[in-house]
Amino acid sequence: MKPRVGFFDFTCCEGCQLTILNLEEEFLELLELVEIVEFREILQAPAAALDIAFVEGSIAGPEEAARLRRIRERSRTLVALGACADNAGVNALSHFRAPEELGESAFGRVVEGIEERLPRPLECFVAVDARVPGCPIDGREFLGLLQALLVGRAPELPAYAVCVECKLGEYPCTFEQGTVCLGPVTRAGCNALCIAGGDRCRGCRGLVDNPRSQPYRQILEQHGLTVEDILAEFRIFNLPPEKS
């Protein structure tokens, strides 16, 4: 019997699920290995039990938290899919605005209890067994993680920073162009896609395991920054989790 897999979305743009669908032929090959029993983008058929649940989106409000817990209860393995699920993503910027200001900007009025609906990552509410970081995720990384789960191997993420991928790609350092970049403390695995496109790293893949390690600290010190300075830039992504 094929492993039963479900895909779920909460507060997000659903871009990570679209990335999976954009795998096209590889996605069709995936169907030979697993049985997708829940995936709102392509079918509506709730299943009683799941071997793997891929969950996209941050959790905003008690209703979403309750639904997530129900998914967790019937799933053997739960995977945080993308930055919103992993670290609350860009949605976490709402934590840095006053509640009344959020209500006015979104609804044109003050909204009672809006602070109870500020988005948080999955791990604030349930145990997360694995994660695919990024905004959006990398399709190849998703396939690699799924393959690891199917053969019973623990998924692994790169333990080095995006700076390594910049060096391998021979991209010019954004610091040398006068732009602050989060590459020295951000987990690699994206092939420095944003830098390759002329932008800077904004930290969507989360912190590398040891951001204060000597090589990365030296890069920052060369440009007049401390690790604390660069960590202060992590507001767009990487909201610190608070268990609930």
Per-residue model confidence as pLDDT tens digits over 161-193: 999 999 999 999 998 888 888 898 899 999 999
User: What is the Cα–Cα distance from 59 to 36, expressed in whole angstroms?
Assistant: 23
Q: Where in the chain is the domain with CATH 3.40.50.700?
A: 4-151
User: What is the CATH code of the structural domain delimited by 4-151?
Assistant: 3.40.50.700
Residue 55: pLDDT band (50, 70, 90) is very high
Which residues, listed in sequence order, are joined to residue 189 by a DSSP beta bridge? none
The H or E element spanning position 165 is helix 162-169
Per-residue model confidence as pLDDT tens digits over 80-127: 999 999 998 888 888 778 888 888 887 888 888 787 788 999 999 999
